[in-house]
Structure 1
Amino acid sequence: MKLSFLEPLYKQSGPFASVYLDTSRDAALEDPDAAVRLRWRRLRDALVSEGADRESVTAVAGTVGSDTDVPGTHGQAVFTAHGRLALLDELPAPPARDTAHFGTLPDTMPLIVQHAPGIPYLAVHVHYGGRHSTDATGTVRIEAEAGAWPLTKVTPGHRLDEEIPVADWARAAGEVGRELEGHARRIDVETVVVAGDVWARGILINRLPAALRGQVTTVAGAGESEPGRALLEHRLESLFEGRMAAHDRALLDAFLAERARDGAFTEGLAPTVSALQRGKVKALFLNDHPESPLRLWVGPKPGQLALAEQELRSYGIREVSEERADTALARALVGTRAELIVVPEQELRPSEGVGVLLRYADPASGK
């Protein structure tokens, strides 16, 4: 997964307030907005106890709960610095628990995890309930959405919504297919999920460009699409559960191949830190352990991280602080434009939960 969406955040200077909050409006509650405000007050107290300045707290307060137009279960990630909003991101699922942190670095790992697996896809729903003949009356309606799963749950992708007379469907399906191909190319789609009437969708699939037709997966049923949520959301949930994006899978396969021949790879926290210091990391594989006690020392720049405070001091770095290891690693990856793959332990369990695919192996050391 590329982390370029975090670059604007790291271009700003800290300290940062980082807040993760469940902002779902449960219809069963008498006053759902009051419930959100109550959850925020608890986090506000936590920020103040960690030394957050009044301006940063006020900036968060003016943002949390602003997603009243987002239906269903979801959350918000809010980052502020020096009294200004630094980044706001809608979460496709409520955070595992509401949290607030004030410190030198933003706490971005929970946000990164919610962006995974980041599968680029195209969802198509072909609506038709009439007679299966091109001389029938009525219309075929096409709904389509291109986006990255699971973010389209709360941030809709590009949508297409057209109605075509049944008599014109056989001819128009080819034009629709070419339009869909254009949307698919823009996001380098890896899966095309098609639902709806078997006859009408069959005509569309047969007229898709060959490359796109080879990526089609058909699903039975569709369910009602809730306004503001992803098209075919429930079908996509089942289809993509436990799945990695093809790009991430290719990087994982490359890591496993390098490890098998003791090539351009490393694992464990100390070797990973060393590789990041030298800008050698192509991709980092991380088991998500929010409860991990591992810590690192960091300086003002992304590549300034170490296992011990004295190492940074020895380089003449004066401004140092101790941070969660995953927080420090995330900043270093963004700063060096390396990729991060949050990988399930059943797929890979590297030493200390972290492994690295190197950009190149050092001939002198073999790494």
Structure 2
Amino acid sequence: MQLSLLRPLTERPGPWASVYADTSHDTEYAAKQLTLTARAAAARLAELGADDATCGAVEKALAVERTGEPATEAGRALFAADGEVVLDTPLPGPPAAPSVSWGPVARMTPLIEAVGDDPVCLLVSVDKTGADFELHSGRGSDDAGQVTGVEWAIHRAGRIDWSERHFQFKAEETWEHNAREIADKAREVFEKSGAAALLLVGDPRERRSVHEKLPERMRAMTYESTHGRRGPGTDGVVLERDIAQVQAVQELEHVAEVTGRFRARAEPAGGEQPYAAEGVPSLVEAAREHRIDTLLVSHGPDTARQVWVGPDPDQLAVRSSELHYLGEAHPAAVRADDALVRSAVANGADAVVVREPENAPAGGLGAILRWTGSERR
């Protein structure tokens, strides 16, 4: 997922309330069930030592039915501190393990695991007069603009004489002009949004023409669908399925690329230091030095291993005594995965969830590094 969305959770000290709630209530008593869920979460936070203001903020936010969310929303993740809900985001399904926690670091790892890579897909709906652009992700869809092309001589003539052949040529020239404009706009939106894939739907001739005019590097990430069209009356459910399939393919390819790089860098030739790290001590050292480029998270014993932290994301250590040298007199014990995710978010690193055990790093945590320790020294 885009870790930049989690940056607010690293920019203020804790303690943090982290709540993963099942909100998949679709009965006539849904509102009452939601209220009970909210009260239970607030009561649990109070038991864990959270202040009244934060407990109240979580209960109030969780009890409100969110309008405008996808009908498939079945869970929510909330993070609050100092009486304020800092992040409240829908989950793609009920949380694997509903939980309420209170601690010095926000419990972000389950959110990353639930959302996954969450690649953004740019949907381009075309016809001969222009195109509409939408960005689709796990958080829903956003309008990304449109292109209104030239409308002169759009319809091709049926009879074949000199004047009508000339008219036909002008019509095709108009279509080509519009396709170039659509391709240029698609490239602009694709690059600005950080999208991972592009899906073309609509008029078959125009979408093929647009596809051909995209930059070569984009064509490798571009798909076409026979479902959907520009304007009202699109095949909504089927088109959403096609978008989900494109996103799933992109996620699998991205994870495979990352794990491939991780394995290659973890096995250097000639005795050189690796550009990858496994094991909590090595990962903590790399995180402190801002050397983590991509954090790999999976299931394993290292994820729940205890490390020590201070309020600053750079204050993390395997032993509490080490934090005294980093300026923290009162270190707190937290899970290794949450401490490393916090560091990754704060320092602009990426994070990838590896679900296949055979591709996962030993212990469940690993990282591709920006450089080796010896290079920095």
Give TM-score scaled by structure 2 length. 0.77
8 A contact 1:178–1:209 mirrored in 2: no
- Unaligned runs of 5+ residues in structure 2 are 156-170, 229-233
Structure-2 residue corresponding to 1:276 = 287
* Selected match of 2:346 from 335, 338, 353: 335
Residue identity over aligned pairs, in percent, reads: 27
Asked whether the equivalents of residues 56 and 82 of structure 1 are also in contact (C-alpha less than 8 Å), the reply is yes
Structure ID, larger Rg = 2
- Provide the rounded CA distance (Å) in 2 between the counterparts of 1:265 and 1:232: 40
In the alignment, the residues of structure 2 paired with residue 22 and residue 251 of structure 1 have an alpha-carbon distance, to the nearest angstrom, of 31
Task: Tell me the equivalent position of 1:185.
Answer: 191
- Give 1:158's aligned amino acid: A
Answer whether contact 2:18 2:101 (CA < 8 A) is retained: yes
- The separation in 2 between residues aligned to 1:242 and 1:214, in whole angstroms, is 12
Following superposition, the deviation at residue 91 of structure 1 comes to: 2.8
Q: What secondary structure sits across from 2:72 in the alignment?
A: coil
**Alpha carbons 1:121, 1:193 under 8 Å: kept:** yes
Could you tell me whether the CA contact under 8 Å between 1:119 and 1:245 is conserved in 2? no
Using the TM superposition, name which of 335-344 and 207-216 deviates more.
207-216
| Contact 1:297 1:323 (C-alpha < 8 Å) held by counterparts | yes
CA-based RMSD:
3.5
| 157-166 or 92-101, which deviates more | 157-166
Do 1:195 and 1:201's aligned partners in 2 also have CA atoms closer than 8 Å? yes
1:304 maps to what in 2? 315
- Contact kept, 8 Å, 2:279 with 2:302, in 1: the verdict is no
The corresponding residue for 2:94 is: 94
**Alignment deviations for residues 119-163 of structure 1 (CA, whole Å, 9 cap, x no partner):** 243123447xxxxxxxxxxx878443135x333x3x535254879
- Name the CA shift for 1:186/1:362 in 2 (closer, same or farther; >3 Å): closer
Given the superposition, is the C-alpha separation of residues 363 and 202 from structure 1 closer, same or farther in structure 2, using an over 3 Å criterion? closer
The change in CA–CA distance for 1:157 and 1:329 in structure 2 (over 3 A counts) is farther
TM-score by length of 1: 0.79
CA distance in 2, matches of 1:290, 1:350: 11
- Correspondence 1:340-359 to 2 at 5 A: 340-346=351-357, 348-359=359-370
After TM superposition, give the deviation of residue 287 of structure 1 in Å: 0.9
User: 1:7 aligns to what SS in structure 2?
Assistant: helix
Question: Aligned to 1:257, which of 264, 273, 286?
Answer: 264
**Cα distance 1:336–1:173, how it changes in 2: closer, same or farther (>3 A)?**
closer
1:145 counterpart residue number: 134
Match of 1:134 in 2: none
- Cα distance in 1 for partners of 2:101, 2:190 equals 39
Q: Contact between 1:298 and 1:328, CA under 8 Å: does it hold in 2?
A: yes
- Per-residue deviation, 1:81: 1.1
**CA shift for structure 1 position 280:** 2.8
Gaps of 5+ in 1: 128-138
* Counterparts of residues 230-269 of structure 1 (less than 5 Å): 232-241=239-248, 243-244=250-251, 250-261=257-268, 263-269=274-280
Cα deviations by residue, 1:73-109 (Å, 9 ceiling, x for unpaired): 2232221111122222233333223322111111111
Superposed displacement of residue 70, structure 1: 0.8
